[in-house]
A and B are shown apart, each in its own frame.
Chain A
Amino acid sequence: MSGSLEMKTPLQDTGGSALDRAVEQIEGLLAGRYVLSKRAIARLLLQDDEQIREMVKVRDARAYEQVERIVVAARQSYSDPLDYVIAMRRQQEINDLLQDVVEPAGARKSSFAETLSRWTMNPATGIPILLLVVYLGLYKFVGQFGAGTLVDFLESHLFDRHINPFLIEVVGKLTSQPALRDLFVGEYGVFTLGLRYAVGIILPIVAVFFLMFSVIEDVGYLPRLALLIDRLFKRIGLSGRAVIPMVLGLGCDTMATMVTRTLPTRRERFIATMLLALAVPCSAQLGVILALLHGHRLALAVWAGVIIAVFLFVGYLASKLLPGTPPMFYMEVPPLRLPKISNILIKTYTRVVWYLKEIVPIFLVASVLIWIGQETGIFAWCINLLKYPVRLMGLPPEAASVFLLGFFRRDYGAAGLYDLNDAGVLTGVQLVVASVALTLFLPCIAQLLMNIKERGIKTGLLISGITLLFSFGVAFSLNAVLQAVGAVL
């Protein structure tokens, strides 16, 4: 934009308050070229905008010191932060501006949607509604339908009976080298493990979760949930805003970690990333764990109780230990509406595609890495090492390989546990302890990479270290407690 286009706006103050004088003085001092008007630059400087300050330091190097003095002086003449003073003034301007512009609504009838909307946000009615949504959406639809019926069909029928035998036969004909055979169709083969887990177990669960998420998103439930849960989240250093990454994390923690970008402060982003890594199980894990604990109601309750307790405790601890101010929260609440099928399908589709592009290659690479680890013996060495902490948790040594697999894909690990249970080697207590440890265990490799990408290498590794420590610590203590009381689950 050309420098001559200094628009005269109707918002210019003519009064002689300290703020206006400061704005005028700064405007007079600025000589550099900015995209924004000098008046806007002056206001942003008064609001303590770091990026603009750096810009002015460069473009008006000579005047900068004087500008800074004016800013400091202006700040001292108000008891409130200038940001607030400026916002209040603008609100006044808006009120004046809207005189006679908006014709007020007539007596509005309270529709059913509005009543329902109020119910979702009032704790007395909102919490039962939330529980209903969790029960129907998560437990019934994702857990029983997705992880039960669909996985059963895809994995047990399609893969175990048709695809895998076919592939094993084909590979067997192509090569007689045992190592190569193992790579593709062995115990941890690219096809028999990688593809089977990715397409047969994880995909249906994730797709069903995303479908459910798209529905509650499209009807406008998420912002209401955010308001409902804001007070609780404030206790753990977050705000209602964090509801979205947290709920999304129940689908895919890696995706959710990326979405923590929407949180305003670094402190909130850190806490959210850590909670996602530690105590928010993704839909794949959730599905497998629900299937695993199916029929052990008490075990399921213990697992859920422990995970929720860890979530709240770690959040509370983090909010106490980390420096910084508690978050502010403000969110639009759009009207509740009936979901649009086309919206839901497109949203689900784009998320599933994202997931497939991101995840399936990692599964395949993980299979190859495991194969290399096995061929070279590194894998066996690691499993032997892991047997110690696994034994400390009261688990059979076979579970060690599950934890190692778990690092490559957390849901991989959960699925490995499933196999172990099918073999009938776990008792109820062991099942719960293993489920807890695996839920809390190190994020999968994709999430680890995302943690590092979003939070930086130091913080990303720190979060992973804390997660590792916590998962073994909690599982160990849980086992000790359950053994001590002689629980049978």
Chain B
Amino acid sequence: MSKPKVVLVGNPNVGKSVLFHNLTGVYATVSNYPGTTVEVARGVGRIGTQEFEVIDTPGMYALMPISEEERVARNIILEENPSVILQVIDAKNLARMLDLTLQLVEAGLPLILVLNMMDELRALGTRINIGILEKRLRIPVVPVIATDGEGMDLLQQRILDYVGKS
């Protein structure tokens, strides 16, 4: 049997590539402009004894694609049969980025919402109530700081929960 797949999706510039690196240990170019992740990065990650394939997709804003990159990202969701989809968002722009979250939830996909850049959020003096958010969205929500690895343990646990189910 092939390895369960973990697919990273989200707007550009939210730290998907860094998270991909954290999960796989393989470097993908870090960039804050749309374009460098046009090519899809794939790597293998391991949590405990469970191996899985990690796929980093080009940036997407909505389930309905406008650009070629978004089309690529959606095709990965449609065709690769992912066990878990991690939607990575910039916690500072929660309201704007939840738009895609709602679409993914509505589509019934196995989703984990990853709130990245929690350090920048804290620096702004803002707080997000993770408990309420999880209850209302009915999916796991995990706060992380991808650049220094904070929150990765919990995220890996949540991924295992899903992989175990499927």
Which A residues are within 8 Å of any B CB, using their own CB?
1, 5-7, 9-11, 35-37, 39-40, 43-44, 47, 49, 51, 83, 87, 90-91, 93-95, 97-98, 100-106, 108, 217-218, 220, 222-223, 241, 244-245, 248, 258-259, 261-264, 330, 332, 334-335, 343, 346-347, 350
Give Cα distance in the complex from A47 to B38, angstroms. Answer: 25
Given contacts A100-B129, A218-B32, A335-B120, contact A7 B108 (CB under 8 A): yes
B64 CB contacts on chain A under 8 angstroms: 44, 47, 49, 83
CB atoms of B124 and A332 under 8 A apart = no
A39 CB contacts on chain B under 8 angstroms: 106-108
Given contacts A9-B138, A261-B69, contact A102 B126 (CB under 8 A): yes
A83 CB contacts on chain B under 8 angstroms: 64
A330 CB contacts on chain B under 8 angstroms: 61
CB atoms of B106 and A347 under 8 A apart = no
CB atoms of A11 and B105 under 8 A apart = yes
CB atoms of A98 and B94 under 8 A apart = yes
A37 CB contacts on chain B under 8 angstroms: 106-108
CB-nearest residue of chain A relative to B101?
A: A94
Q: B1 in the interface, Cβ–Cβ < 8 Å?
A: no
Partner of A262, one of B11, B35, B81: B35
CB-nearest residue of chain A relative to B66?
A: A264
CB atoms of B109 and A36 under 8 A apart = yes
CB-nearest residue of chain A relative to B29?
A: A350
Q: Name which of B33, B99, B136 has the most chain A CB atoms within 10 A of its CB.
A: B33
Partner of A102, one of B68, B127, B137: B127
Given contacts A1-B81, A217-B31, A259-B35, contact A103 B105 (CB under 8 A): no
Total contacting residues, chain B, CB less than 8 A: 53
CB atoms of A108 and B124 under 8 A apart = yes
CB atoms of B127 and A103 under 8 A apart = yes
CB distance from A339 to the nearest CB of B (A): 11
Partner of B34, one of A91, A101, A103, A262: A262
Q: B156 in the interface, Cβ–Cβ < 8 Å?
A: no
Q: B30 in the interface, Cβ–Cβ < 8 Å?
A: yes
Given contacts A218-B32, A332-B13, contact A94 B69 (CB under 8 A): no
Q: B47 in the interface, Cβ–Cβ < 8 Å?
A: no
CB-nearest residue of chain A relative to B83?
A: A1
CB atoms of A43 and B106 under 8 A apart = yes
Given contacts A11-B105, A332-B13, contact A97 B32 (CB under 8 A): no
Given contacts A40-B63, A49-B64, A259-B38, contact A102 B128 (CB under 8 A): yes
By Cβ-Cβ distance, the 9 closest A-B pairs, closest first, are A37-B108, A40-B107, A36-B107, A103-B127, A259-B35, A7-B108, A105-B125, A264-B67, A262-B34
Q: Name which of B66, B67, B90, B124 has the most chain A CB atoms within 10 A of its CB.
A: B67
Q: B50 in the interface, Cβ–Cβ < 8 Å?
A: no
Q: B77 in the interface, Cβ–Cβ < 8 Å?
A: yes
CB distance from A12 to the nearest CB of B (A): 9
B65 CB contacts on chain A under 8 angstroms: 51
Given contacts A262-B35, A332-B90, A335-B120, contact A40 B108 (CB under 8 A): yes
